């Protein structure tokens, strides 16, 4: 078995350094990993994509950084009849395939694998042998965690199986992957099923965006600086834009995606969470319930959508064939036709949106009248997630009619090229009169910090072990988000709102530009992009 001492020191140090080459800026630049209590983590869906691509590698990184040691255990569960050795071979191959740019430390990896066990169980089969899992879980001193990396319809049956096998002890925790249902009703059924076994404060609903460094920074930026708060209102802010654009299409996930679409897949969770963190009131502490109570107020204040306003306030798009990053890319329908598991809904068509843009508003005293534009899409020209807070113009220009003044903008680039830029107007230096220019006060993470940014799952998994709920969604939050998303989905159905095609590799359909142009605005792009 591995011990802390067995993990080569150099490995951890190497990993910490790989993000950049410039010297550390200050002592604050050094991350410190506070060790967590020993745990037993059971991963249902242990052979699945998420476990192999994200969960196991994330746990490995935390082990490399000595955040836990050989007293902790990871037990993968899946119905495949593998031996432990076969499972270890699978995850080793997966680590190398999914993380080709990461150095592979043979010794540390094999020490980590010593902590892993594998149990084949078909959780949907009544005759399944849960005793095999019980036999592995004998350490009552450990924090016990059940991670359900499975389709949501299985959440409740697994929880019942755990209860009947006597494994859902009073202190154990359960982690649920998104999507929690496909609408309010299905989410309520899942929440009831899981809630019948686990108390709410032992349920960790993952939205991996909340584990991203730059998303956590939103709270610090807003609530650790006095600068923004007086301006953070309808009096000074003209509009807010939140974008999550991706290059990738849906290849490999057609069967899931065609029943979901961009609204359910990205807006219901990630984009609404970003909107909440951007617009919520200051919580009275970092306590999970304090934060979540503020977020839910935002969700409940979103302007209702109905068939009377949805046409003016939303745009649905679907990618057609095109070119992404210089390579030909199939359209969404061709991908569906090529995938044997997905069945087209309507002859050779599908009305699933791979792009959505929404204009909304938060109906409260702070935000009334400030448009908030959300947009997400697959097969876009660029890959980035960003929040743009655009301030109002100055009330009067003293620079004369010949000088155009651009509004200030706070641009928070969540990924990639993480940065915070405050765009201000400055005098362009030099002779030749008073020339005004927009220029960013630029905090680019790669230049400022040399720390490696942990994957979102690394932070979230360790927070589950610590019992910190702040970065996880409470039941009422998930349900409030579905209530609003259901209104849009129902209104689209009632209106039979068109899904506009856009060529792969472009910024969604033209109507998405018009959504802002009708308000005299445009989606912001850096002047040099
Ligand atoms: C997932 C969605 O939740 O988030 C995917 O299901 C999407 O469709 C992904 O690609 C985006 O996550 P990230 O971290 O790559 O921005």
DSSP 152: G
Identify whether residues 314 and 442 lie together within a single domain.
yes
Q: Ligand 1 pocket, 265 CB below 6 A?
A: yes
On average, the pLDDT of the chain sits at 90
Residues 46/74, Cβ–Cβ less than 8 Å: no
Contacts of 371 (CB under 8 A, 6+ apart): 239, 240, 359, 360, 361, 519, 521
Q: Is the pLDDT of residue 369 over 80?
A: yes
Distance of CA 519 from the midpoint of ligand 1 (Å): 30
Q: Ligand 1 pocket, 254 CB below 6 A?
A: no
Q: Whole-model pTM?
A: 0.92
Identify whether residues 145 and 74 lie together within a single domain.
yes
Q: Which residue has the higher pLDDT, 49 or 170?
A: 49
Q: Ligand 1 pocket, 177 CB below 6 A?
A: no
Task: Grade residue 12 by pLDDT with cuts at 50, 70 and 90.
Answer: very low
Identify whether residues 218 and 155 lie together within a single domain.
no
How far is the C-alpha of 157 from the C-alpha of 145, rounded, in Å? Answer: 17
Identify whether residues 315 and 425 lie together within a single domain.
yes
Identify whether residues 94 and 25 lie together within a single domain.
yes
Q: What's the Cα-to-Cα distance from 79 to each of 44, 124, 411, rounded to whole Å? A: 9, 9, 46
**C-alpha dihedral sign at 186, 461, 385, 518:** positive
Task: Grade residue 137 by pLDDT with cuts at 50, 70 and 90.
Answer: confident
Ligand 1: residue whose CA is nearest its atom 14: 209
Residue 399 lies in a domain: yes
Distance of CA 248 from the midpoint of ligand 1 (Å): 10
Q: Is the pLDDT of residue 31 over 70?
A: no
Pocket test for ligand 1, best of 266, 272, 378, 478 (most atoms within 8 A of CB): 266
Identify whether residues 101 and 33 lie together within a single domain.
yes
Residues recognised as catalytic: 270
Residue 350 lies in a domain: yes
Task: Grade residue 344 by pLDDT with cuts at 50, 70 and 90.
Answer: low
Identify whether residues 386 and 269 lie together within a single domain.
yes
Distance of CA 120 from the midpoint of ligand 1 (Å): 28
Identify whether residues 77 and 223 lie together within a single domain.
no
Residue 191 lies in a domain: no
Assign residue 333 the CATH number of its domain: 3.30.360.10
Identify whether residues 260 and 408 lie together within a single domain.
yes
Nearest to 524 by CA among 398, 417, 382: 382
Identify whether residues 110 and 220 lie together within a single domain.
no
Domain end (from 127, 160, 177): 177
Residues 169/489, Cβ–Cβ less than 8 Å: no
Identify whether residues 140 and 91 lie together within a single domain.
yes
Structure tokens at 330: 């199939």
Q: Is the pLDDT of residue 8 over 50?
A: no
Residue 202 lies in a domain: no
Domain around 381: 211-455+467-517
Tell me whether strands 237-245 and 173-176 are parallel, antiparallel or unpaired: unpaired
Q: Is the pLDDT of residue 415 over 70?
A: yes
Looking from the CA of residue 250, the nearest atom of ligand 1 is: 8
Nearest to 250 by CA among 241, 239, 259, 238: 259
How far is the C-alpha of 109 from the C-alpha of 207, rounded, in Å? Answer: 28
How far is the C-alpha of 68 from the C-alpha of 495, rounded, in Å? Answer: 54
- pLDDT tens figures, 82-101: 999 999 999 999 999 999 88
Ligand 1: residue whose CA is nearest its atom 6: 265
Looking from the CA of residue 415, the nearest atom of ligand 1 is: 16
Structure tokens at 524: 């912001």
Which residues pair with residue 361 across a beta bridge?
A: none
Task: Grade residue 349 by pLDDT with cuts at 50, 70 and 90.
Answer: confident
Tokens 């790669």 sit on residue: 446
Q: Is the pLDDT of residue 3 over 80?
A: no
DSSP 200: G
Q: What's the Cα-to-Cα distance from 185 to each of 137, 188, 353, 357, 482, rounded to whole Å? A: 34, 5, 22, 25, 9
Tell me whether strands 39-44 and 143-148 are parallel, antiparallel or unpaired: parallel
Q: Which residues of 305-333 are buried (b: 16+ CB within 10 A; e: fewer)?
A: beeeebeebbbbbbbbbbebeeeebbbbb
The count of C-alpha atoms lying within 13 angstroms of the C-alpha of 321, restricted to the half-sphere facing its C-beta, is 3
C-beta neighbour count of 80 within 10 angstroms = 13
pLDDT at 15: 37
Residues 371/519, Cβ–Cβ less than 8 Å: yes
Query: Maximum CA pair distance of the chain?
Result: 84
Structure tokens at 252: 């490999």
Looking from the CA of residue 260, the nearest atom of ligand 1 is: 6
Assign residue 18 the CATH number of its domain: 3.40.50.720
How far is the C-alpha of 201 from the C-alpha of 288, rounded, in Å? Answer: 10
Domain end (from 177, 199, 219): 177
Residues 509/315, Cβ–Cβ less than 8 Å: yes
Give the DSSP H or E segment for 424: strand 419-427
Looking from the CA of residue 244, the nearest atom of ligand 1 is: 16
Identify whether residues 168 and 215 lie together within a single domain.
no
Q: Is the pLDDT of residue 23 over 70?
A: no
Distance of CA 410 from the midpoint of ligand 1 (Å): 24
Residue 183 lies in a domain: no
Pocket test for ligand 1, best of 270, 354, 386, 481 (most atoms within 8 A of CB): 270
Residues 492/310, Cβ–Cβ less than 8 Å: yes
How far is the C-alpha of 364 from the C-alpha of 234, rounded, in Å? Answer: 10
Residue 6 lies in a domain: no
Pocket test for ligand 1, best of 53, 182, 208 (most atoms within 8 A of CB): 208
Domain end (from 133, 161, 177): 177
Residue 187 lies in a domain: no
Q: Is the pLDDT of residue 22 over 70?
A: no
Q: Ligand 1 pocket, 246 CB below 6 A?
A: yes
The answer, yes or no, to whether the previous bond of 416 is cis (omega within 30 of 0) is yes
- pLDDT tens figures, 492-508: 999 999 999 999 999 99
Q: Ligand 1 pocket, 386 CB below 6 A?
A: no
Sheet strands side by side (includes 372-377): 436-444, 419-427, 409-415, 384-391, 237-245, 372-377, 355-360, 314-320, 499-503
Nearest to 187 by CA among 401, 476, 511, 500: 476
Which residues pair with residue 240 across a beta bridge?
A: 372, 389
Tell me whether strands 355-360 and 314-320 are parallel, antiparallel or unpaired: antiparallel
Distance of CA 178 from the midpoint of ligand 1 (Å): 11
pLDDT at 24: 35
Lowest mean pLDDT among 153-157, 217-221, 341-345, 514-518: 341-345
Residue 95 lies in a domain: yes
Residues 471/463, Cβ–Cβ less than 8 Å: yes
Q: How many domains does the chain have?
A: 2
How far is the C-alpha of 374 from the C-alpha of 274, rounded, in Å? Answer: 10
């Amino acid at each position: 078995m591995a011990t802390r001492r067995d993990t080569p020191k150099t490995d951890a140090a190497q990993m910490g350094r790989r993000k950049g080459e410039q010297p550390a800026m200050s002592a604050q630049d050094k991350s410190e990993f506070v060790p967590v209590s020993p745990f037993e983590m059971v991963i249902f869906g242990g052979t699945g994509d998420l476990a192999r691509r994200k969960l196991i590698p994330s746990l490995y990184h935390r082990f490399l950084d000595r955040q836990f040691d050989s007293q902790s255990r990871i037990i993968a569960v899946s119905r495949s009849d593998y031996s432990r050795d076969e499972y270890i071979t699978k995850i080793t191959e997966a680590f190398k395939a999914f993380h080709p740019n990461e150095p592979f430390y043979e010794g540390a990896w094999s020490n980590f694998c010593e902590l892993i066990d594998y149990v084949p169980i078909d959780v949907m089969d009544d005759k399944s042998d849960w005793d095999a899992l019980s036999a592995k879980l004998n350490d009552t001193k450990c924090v016990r965690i059940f991670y359900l990396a499975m389709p949501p319809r299985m959440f409740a049956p697994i929880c019942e199986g755990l209860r009947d096998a006597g494994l859902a002890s009073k202190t154990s925790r359960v982690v649920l992957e998104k999507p929690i249902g496909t609408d309010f009703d299905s989410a309520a059924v899942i929440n009831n099923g899981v809630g019948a076994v686990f108390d709410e404060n032992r349920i960790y609903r993952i939205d991996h965006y909340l584990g991203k460094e730059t998303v956590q920074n939103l709270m610090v930026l807003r609530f650790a600086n006095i600068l923004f708060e007086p301006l953070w209102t309808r009096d000074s802010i003209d509009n807010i834009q939140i974008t999550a654009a991706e290059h990738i299409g849906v290849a490999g996930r057609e069967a899931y995606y065609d029943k979901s679409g961009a609204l359910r897949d990205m807006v219901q969770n990630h984009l609404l969470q970003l909107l909440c963190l951007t617009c919520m009131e200051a919580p009275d502490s970092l306590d999970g319930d304090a934060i979540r109570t503020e977020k839910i107020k935002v969700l409940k204040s979103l302007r209702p959508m109905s068939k009377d306003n949805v046409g003016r306030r939303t745009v649905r798009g679907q990618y057609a064939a095109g070119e992404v990053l210089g390579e030909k890319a199939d359209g969404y329908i061709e991908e569906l036709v090529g995938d044997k598991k997905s069945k087209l809904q309507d002859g050779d068509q599908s009305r699933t949106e791979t792009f959505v843009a929404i204009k909304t508003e938060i109906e409260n005293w702070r935000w009334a009248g400030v448009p908030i534009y959300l947009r997400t899409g697959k097969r876009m020209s660029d890959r980035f997630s960003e929040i743009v807070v655009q301030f109002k113009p100055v009330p009067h220009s003293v620079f004369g009619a010949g000088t155009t003044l651009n509004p200030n903008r706070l641009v928070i680039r969540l990924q990639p090229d993480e940065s915070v830029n405050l765009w201000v107007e400055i005098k362009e230096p030099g002779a030749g009169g008073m020339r005004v220019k927009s220029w960013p006060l630029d905090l680019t993470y790669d230049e400022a910090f040399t720390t490696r940014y942990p994957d979102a799952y690394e932070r979230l998994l360790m927070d589950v072990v610590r019992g910190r709920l702040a970065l996880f969604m409470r039941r009422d939050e998930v349900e409030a988000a579905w209530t609003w998303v259901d209104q849009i989905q129902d209104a689209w159905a009632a209106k039979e709102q068109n899904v506009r095609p856009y060529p792969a590799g472009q910024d969604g359909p033209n109507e998405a530009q018009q959504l802002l142009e009708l308000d005299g605005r445009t989606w912001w792009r850096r002047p040099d992009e």
